Chain A
Amino acid sequence: MGWDRRAMLGAAAAGVFAVPSWAQAPGTTARQRTINAMMTDEPAHLNYPLFNTRIMQEICGNINESLLLFDWQFRPHPNLARAFEMSPDGMTYTFYLRPDVRWHDGVPFTARDVAFSCGVMLPQLNPRSRNAFSHVRAIKVIDRYTLRFEMKQPFNAFLLSLMASSAPMMPAHIFEGTNFRTNPYNFKPVGTGPFKFNRWVRGQFIHLTRNDHYWRPGQPGMDGIYYRVCPTPEQRLVAMESGAVDLAMADDIDTVVNSRMMANPNVVARDDAFNGTGEITVMEMNQRRWPFSDRRFRAAFVHAIDRDFLVKAINFGLGKVATSPIPSNLPYHDDKAVVKYPFDQARARALLDEMGLKPGRGGVRHRFGLMMIPDGGGHWTRGCHYVKQALSEVGLDVELQSTDWPTFSRRSGNWDFDVDCNSYGQYGDPAIGTARFFLSSNIRKGVPQTNIQGYSNPEVDALFHKAAVAVDKAEAQHLYSRLQHVLTRDVAMVWLFERQPMFFYNKRLKNVITGPNGPADGFGSVTLS
């Protein structure tokens, strides 16, 4: 099974906490063993699979755990499953669960919970799980702590689909047979994790407290976590600089002040905490509408944008120009297979001329709307403003459209837009995070975060299907290389840049980031330094 990173950390932590609490260093009071984090806005509930967004991952990652953990190379390691076996043909996976795990309410965690989570609850609520578990034919409970997944076909991303951010284990004794959307436990979640839910004061904070009966020895290292509502960016910066909060995750700190945070001697900056998500900031086009249906228009669109400037100036150097639908730091990325679209305004104008979009009055060739994500003037909004300027240079007149979240979801889900700005995460494997935006089977009206562009290419559909079930890694790579070629050749989407969200924490803490899943793996290992 290989080296278990968490077990070693756990042992180290156990050594530290073998000291009785009264013998701690002076000044180390209970109050100081609290982690303070921030929420940009409050979630509607705490049912992890029902609304799997970043803020939910950051909170519920401490409450609901996964079967496996993944290291920096995306290799699986035991977590709630103490061991697992895969048949050589990739058709069955057997999991052996830890017998010593209990839910926060004392009920033992068993194979029934796993079968319920992976067989019923996750596929119903989480679009990524629905896709991944559609390859599973049956889940057989062999005994109380053993179960077997039997596949319809070998699905090579199956283990990665069990990553904490995609497949948190949910308690069967609480949810089975109930309406998942209205269950009262959505507001007082129960899990197996190092922290348990304590209190939620609406508009102020969510408080998690330590799980004294946590199965991993020596954890959690802290007594509790407060997630405080901090709606404005300047407030969050001050909170972090003054030490009022210990953690600032992803979008908490605007990239504008990144350099200032990096220079702060009390703050540790990590740029790898969200590698597991592998996010690309993109623009989606409604390809049902002309001229977005024309490949030449989409190519001209990309040629007209100086994405280098976008990363260096508009995003203050954070991130990297995206050349492929698959982020460059993740498996299967192939830079040699992609068709590239460097910044070239002359080429953009020539393409637009070629398709008959000649400059009209005021030099305007075409006018269309760009629907902005409501990020409160953050990096998406600035990117949209830049793109509007860049496109005006080649005669495309962009009308920026402000939205709020309900409007954004409704309009993108109902295909009521020309172009929008968004980001998508690959979540470890293209079959989990990326395929959903390009498969023609995932064109589903009314559902945001699907193939809302209406992109449809039978070759792409076939390649994604074959690549997902390829047993041989080299074969999968070959198929994904071809896919990257076809998708970039078609300009199936405008990939602007690979996001590199930062994770900042006060240096009084240690062991905060232990793997590519970052905060979604929970803060059980965190201790005071």
Chain B
Amino acid sequence: MRNFLRVFLSRPIPLVGLVIFAVVVALALLAPLLFARGPFTIVGMPLLPPGAPGLLVGSDVLGRDMAVGLAYGARISLLVGITSTLGAVGIGVLLGAVAGYYGGWLDDLLMRVTEFFQIIPSFVLLMVLVAFMQPSLSSTVIGIALITWPQVARVVRGEFLSLRGREFVQAARTLGMGDARIIFTQVLPNALPPIIVVGSMMVGSAILTESALSFLGLGDPNLLSWGSMIGGSRSAMWVAWWTTVLPGLAIMITVLALNFIGDGLNDALNPRRRR
């Protein structure tokens, strides 16, 4: 663990990612304290430029404070990114572990199901799922989890396939451990590093996916997210650049930070590149 931290923190890029991510998390957590009125309160005329009295970064097409919107948008982006990734990792680990550990017809069956999800264009599937469940925060999270789990399942299955024949697994079996116990206490901890790397990358892509969905008007209309800020202001792009550029930058910086972190984790956890 100490070795991992030393490698992870010794490079500038993961460190930068971590700092940016910490700032975004702090902003998201502090938003209700900093801006008690909430992101939907109309504070003045629409499309006031950054620097207008009382408006640090201007107002949007409805006369709402963009700064408040950006802070509250961070909450939604992080919430969706993290919860949908947890959901996807949960499904992926379970199915991947079972498929990889048992092999045989069960593996075939589960991998065909996984492939079924992988061959459908995932964003189209997501739009159908969300429209079917009515656009809301929970339908967005469930939808993103449902389209991203196959990636995790594949990785986990591969790890389990290579680990299940190792001596420590045979030893555990000889000691009389049940399958479930072997899977969760013996094999899974050894398969964790790639899952962590994939998961950290998936948070970023889930944020992007949520933004795309909200941009198209399929997000929860009662919550302000960075994507819905861009979607709602896209027609004002030519008269008020800040309404689209600022939430766009927020998405870009956050996703970039998560990718930096993911890269750092990969370097620190990958035995082949650790040196």
Contact = CB atoms under 8 A, between A and B. Distances in A.
Interface of A: 232-234, 237, 254, 256-257, 259-260, 313-314, 316, 372, 374, 376-378, 381-382, 385-386, 388-389, 392, 399-402, 404
A377 B45 contact: no
A234 B235 contact: yes
B235 A381 contact: no
Contacts of A256: 46-47, 61, 235-236, 239
Given A256-B236, A257-B239, A376 B217 contact: yes
Given A374-B217, A385-B40, A313 B63 contact: yes
Contacts of B41: 389
Interface string B99-134: 000000000000000000000000000000001001
Given A260-B238, A382-B61, A314 B46 contact: yes
Interface residues of B, number: 24
A241 B46 CA distance: 23
Contacts of B135: 402
A234 B238 contact: yes
Contacts of B42: 386, 389
A260 B239 contact: yes
Contacts of A392: 40
Given A314-B46, A389-B40, 19 more contacts: A254-B236, A256-B239, A260-B239, A313-B63, A381-B232, A382-B62, A385-B40, A385-B62, A385-B221, A385-B232, A386-B62, A389-B62, A392-B40, A400-B222, A401-B134, A401-B221, A402-B135, A402-B218, A402-B221
Contacts of B231: 377
A313 B135 CA distance: 28
B40 A234 contact: no
Nearest to B224: A385
For the complex of A and B, list the 4 residue pairs with the smallest distance between their C-beta atoms, beginning with the closest.
Answer: A254-B235, A400-B221, A233-B235, A256-B236
A382 B40 CA distance: 12
Interface of B is mostly: loop
Nearest to A398: B222
B237 interface: yes
Contacts of B164: none
B58 to A, nearest CB: 14
A389 B40 CA distance: 7
B62 A314 contact: yes
Contacts of B218: 402
B226 to A, nearest CB: 15
Contact of A388 (B40, B47, B63, B238): B40
A257 B231 CA distance: 15
Given A233-B234, A378-B235, A404 B131 contact: yes
A323 B62 CA distance: 23
B234 A232 contact: yes
Contacts of A386: 42, 62
A402 B215 CA distance: 13
A377 B235 CA distance: 9
A234 B234 contact: yes
Given A372-B221, A400-B221, A257 B235 contact: yes
A362 to B, nearest CB: 12
Contacts of A374: 217
A399 B40 CA distance: 13
30 contacts: A232-B234, A233-B235, A234-B237, A237-B235, A237-B238, A254-B235, A254-B236, A256-B46, A256-B235, A257-B236, A257-B238, A259-B239, A313-B63, A314-B62, A372-B221, A377-B231, A377-B232, A377-B234, A381-B217, A381-B232, A382-B62, A385-B40, A385-B232, A388-B40, A389-B40, A392-B40, A400-B221, A401-B134, A402-B217, A402-B218
A378 B62 CA distance: 11
A179 B135 CA distance: 38
Which of B135, B221, B234 has the most chain A CB atoms closer than 10 A to its own CB?
A: B221
Nearest to A378: B235
A260 B218 CA distance: 29
B45 A399 contact: no
Contacts of A378: 235
A399 B134 CA distance: 13
A237 B236 CA distance: 10
A383 to B, nearest CB: 10
A248 to B, nearest CB: 13
Contacts of A257: 235-236, 238-239
A256 B131 CA distance: 28
A420 to B, nearest CB: 14
